Structure 1
Amino acid sequence: MKPVLIFLIGSAGSGKSTIGKKLAAEHHFCYLDKDVVCNTFTGKLLEAQGYSPHDRDGNTYYLDTVMDLEYETLLNVANDNLQLGRSVILDAPFVGYFRESDYINHLVAKYEWQSVLPVVLRVDVNVDVLQQRLKSRGLERDRWKLDHWETFVQGIQANTCMWENIEVISVDNSSDEFDLTHLTALLPMSAAMSS
């Protein structure tokens, strides 16, 4: 059975983490959250350059230097698990790579993932619900998003994943209730996850 690699994408506050953790627990996937894997070293790198440890949105140093390090670290950890035959959920925005149509092909070649089944699970949410969730969770890293709401929403709407050779499954997470069984049935590897 091929290990599955889920690229769990969606806006901050869309509920990616909740969905990812439920899927991982139900199907015994390795769950990797970019913030958990990378926030400590990212914060230190930003502070070393005189920035707030939360200063990512619009920060040129973060975008040009740190972001690629974060994703390389995340993907290296994922690869170790995939090489052991363990399916993985990657909880990370990946927005900075959406325009690279050959992104998945590049990863497959770099990590030799010929025996891996990649899929994108995109979590969508109503913008009013999203704004309320970001306000409610009260995280410092969301301040820029809330202070520049129209710009943030326009960015979400403009950022379409252009990756080739990968199936994209969309799920609306605007409701307070989430049907994990329905989601599992939507995923093309549901038979593999249940075995």
Structure 2
Amino acid sequence: MTSDRYFVLVMGVPGSGKTTLARRIIRRVHWVYLDNNFIMDPFYAETRDSPEFVGLRPRFYEALYNVAAHNLALGNTVLLDAPHVRPMKDPRWWGQMQYLADDACAALKVVRCYCSEATLRRRIEDRAEKRDVAKLQDWEGFLREEPIRSPIPVDHVEINTEIETATDDKVLRYVMGGDLSNMPIKRGCGGSVGGIGNAHS
């Protein structure tokens, strides 16, 4: 599909470096940036494992996709920063993501971030988020539920955030077709993106 707008999914397990990468990209381009934590943290900042949160998680993502769809319909490119490790195994979910893009005449672009298990654990320990306590207490169970590199059945680009450099350039070339020479330069006050939240998520 040839398009001047994109629906960009930046995905990967918590701690894979996707938020660090996503924010580096968003500082360079005039795209809408959506992070699942913006919606979830006001209600469940300290857990992603409680029965209450698990019961409401589908509604949180429904709200996130609704915001994405409305922005795409307005002609905006949307970068959605969320793990999506569990749903990436479901063909129906991929159909939903493709529909959101197609309905707005946008091109779906998928970026998966990953790193080694040792680096993943160190990043999660270093950021010291309360919502990560359960992951660290049952590390093997966490990795069974959210493998670092589950198969992705659609065209995508892989980013090793542990060893690769200029990863934002790599993603922008993938999304925009290779030539960045005419990409508008974003100028702003240089404040924090989103105001809250940690890197390496």
Q: Same fold (TM over 0.5)?
A: yes
2:84 aligned with 1:82? no
Alpha-carbon distance in 2 for matches of 1:61, 1:159 = 28
Gaps of 5+ in 1: 44-52
2:161 aligned with 1:173? yes
Superposition RMSD in Å:
2.6
Give yes or no for contact 2:101–2:107 (8 Å, CA) kept in 1: no
**What letter corresponds to residue 12 of structure 1 in structure 2?**
P
Could you tell me which residue of structure 1 aligns to residue 116 of structure 2? Answer: 126
The C-alpha deviation readout for 1:12-35, integer Å capped at 9, x for no partner, is 111111111111121221110110
Q: How does 1:111-122 map to 2 (within 5 A)?
A: 113=103, 115-122=105-112
Q: Identify if the C-alpha distance between structure 1 residues 37 and 183 changes in structure 2 by more than 3 Å, giving closer, same or farther.
A: same
Could you tell me which residue of structure 2 aligns to residue 30 of structure 1? Answer: 32
Alpha-carbon distance in 1 for matches of 2:25, 2:161 = 14
Q: How does 1:90-129 map to 2 (within 5 A)?
A: 90-109=80-99, 113=103, 115-129=105-119
- Between 1 and 2, higher relative CO (CA 8 Å, sep ≥ 6) is seen in 2
TM-score by length of 2: 0.77
Q: 1:71 aligns with which of 51, 61, 67?
A: 61
Could you tell me which residue of structure 1 aligns to residue 145 of structure 2? Answer: 155
Return the offset for 1:191.
Answer: 4.7
Alpha-carbon distance in 1 for matches of 2:57, 2:151 = 18
Q: Which shows bigger deviation, 71-80 or 185-194?
A: 185-194
Return the offset for 1:108.
Answer: 4.3
Could you tell me which residue of structure 1 aligns to residue 14 of structure 2? Answer: 12
Q: Identify if the C-alpha distance between structure 1 residues 158 and 22 changes in structure 2 by more than 3 Å, giving closer, same or farther.
A: closer
Q: Secondary structure at the match of 2:134?
A: helix
Q: Identify if the C-alpha distance between structure 1 residues 114 and 151 changes in structure 2 by more than 3 Å, giving closer, same or farther.
A: same
The structure in which a higher percent of residues are helix is 1
Alpha-carbon distance in 1 for matches of 2:24, 2:111 = 14
Return the offset for 1:171.
Answer: 0.6
Tell me which stretches of 4 or more aligned residues in structure 1 moved more than 3 Å.
107-112, 175-179, 186-193
TM-score by length of 1: 0.79
- Percent identity, aligned pairs only, is 23
Length, aligned pairs only: 181
Gaps of 5+ in 2: 185-201
Q: Identify if the C-alpha distance between structure 1 residues 161 and 69 changes in structure 2 by more than 3 Å, giving closer, same or farther.
A: farther
